[in-house]
């Protein structure tokens, strides 16, 4: 059975699990249509291509329209809309779905499931090495007023006479593929096709996400134990006697 579905981030909220406040992210998950199935004989591995979202026919290229029309000839006739996103999900064995099947959130997820979420992180523009890579910067003293957030040396001299590929330097930060692991399904709404996951997920609202179920958990794991406060008794007589005794003690000279 396929254990992955496509979705889009909606908004963050909070809920309570047995008195413990938990931050959640609401995600519109599915429905996804199976647009292609890959097999080891032809492609070397098992995989399922899923389509998610909606896009007008005029905004879809002709090659993609031909690809979708093979799945369902009624795509263009029905509502002039095609799937907006396509993602491939690899499988270890032959899937039990066929081209044209629709996968809903209730077919995969239930409360307490452990999932991983993959998406494209938010873009943060051009950033220096301190913000982008966590460099410490140069010293603030000895007259080096312009070295505090500088990268420092970026290589050697004559040998090798160049900067190595992959050198961590200033550049555009964010908009990279990020996977967040071990999130838990807090709530599912089958009628609306949305789920609530514990914690934040990468990307901006309406960005496409790949949600994969990796195990089963319990909502009770999110409950935090309330600290027990022990009341301390206060004896006024002992406090008074101690203060009197302290007054009678003469300081040493």
pLDDT at position 6: 93
pLDDT at residue number 239: 58
Over the chain (253 residues), the average pLDDT of each successive run of 10 is: 88 87 90 89 90 87 86 62 89 86 86 91 94 91 88 91 94 94 90 90 91 86 74 66 56 57
Q: How many alpha carbons fall within 13 Å on the CB side of residue 144?
A: 11
Using an 8 Å Cβ cutoff, are 178 and 119 in contact?
A: yes
What per-residue confidence (pLDDT) applies to 234?
67
**Two tokens, residue 108:** 């995969």
Yes or no: say if 100 and 34 are a contact pair by the CB < 8 Å rule: yes
Which residues contact residue 177 at a Cβ distance below 8 angstroms, ignoring those fewer than 6 apart? 118, 119, 120, 121
pLDDT at 87: 92
pLDDT, residue 245, reads 54
Cα–Cα distance for residue pair 217/213, rounded to 1 Å: 11
Assigned architecture for domain 4-123+177-242: Beta Barrel (2.40)
Q: Distance between CA 55 and CA 79 in Å, rounded?
A: 10
Contact between 82 and 75 under an 8 Å Cβ cutoff? The reply is yes
Classify 101 as helix, strand or coil: coil
Please compute, for residue 119, the number of CA atoms within 13 A of its CA located in the half-sphere on the CB side: 24
Note the pLDDT of residue 196.
Answer: 92
Q: Residue 179's pLDDT is what?
A: 94
What's the pTM?
0.77
Closest CA to 91 of 54, 45, 133: 45
- Where in the chain do CATH 2.40.30.10 domains reside? 4-123+177-242
pLDDT for position 75: 62
The reported pLDDT for the residue numbered 206 is 87
pLDDT given for residue 151 in this prediction: 92
Q: Is 187 helix (H, G, I), strand (E, B) or coil?
A: strand
Backbone dihedral region of 71: left (phi > 0), alpha (psi from -120 to 50 degrees) or beta? Answer: alpha
How many angstroms from the chain centroid is the CA of residue 136? 28
Q: Are strands 102-103 and 171-174 parallel, antiparallel or unpaired?
A: unpaired
């Amino acid at each position: 059975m396929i254990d992955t579905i496509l979705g889009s981030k909606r908004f963050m909220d909070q809920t309570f699990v047995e008195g413990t406040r938990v931050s959640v992210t609401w995600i519109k998950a599915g429905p996804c249509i199976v647009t292609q199935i890959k097999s080891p004989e032809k492609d070397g591995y098992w995989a399922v291509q899923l389509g998610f979202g909606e896009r007008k026919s005029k905004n879809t290229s002709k090659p993609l329209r031909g690809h979708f029309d093979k799945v369902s000839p009624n795509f263009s006739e029905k509502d002039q809309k095609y799937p907006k996103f396509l993602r491939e999900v690899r499988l270890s064995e032959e899937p039990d779905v066929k081209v044209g099947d629709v996968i809903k959130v209730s077919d995969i997820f239930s409360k307490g499931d452990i999932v991983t979420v993959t998406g494209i992180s938010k873009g943060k523009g051009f950033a220096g090495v301190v913000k982008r890579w966590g460099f410490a910067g140069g010293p603030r003293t000895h007259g080096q007023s312009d070295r505090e957030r500088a990268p420092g040396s970026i290589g050697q001299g004559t040998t090798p006479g160049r900067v190595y590929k992959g050198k961590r330097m200033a550049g555009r930060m964010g908009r990279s593929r990020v996977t967040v692991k071990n999130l838990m399904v807090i709530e599912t709404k089958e009628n609306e096709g949305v789920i609530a996951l514990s914690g934040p997920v990468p990307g901006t609202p309406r960005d496409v996400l790949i949600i994969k179920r990796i195990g089963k958990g319990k909502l009770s794991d999110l409950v935090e134990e309330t600290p027990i406060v022990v009341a301390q008794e206060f004896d006024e007589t002992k406090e008074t006697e101690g203060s009197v005794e302290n007054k009678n003690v003469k300081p040493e000279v």
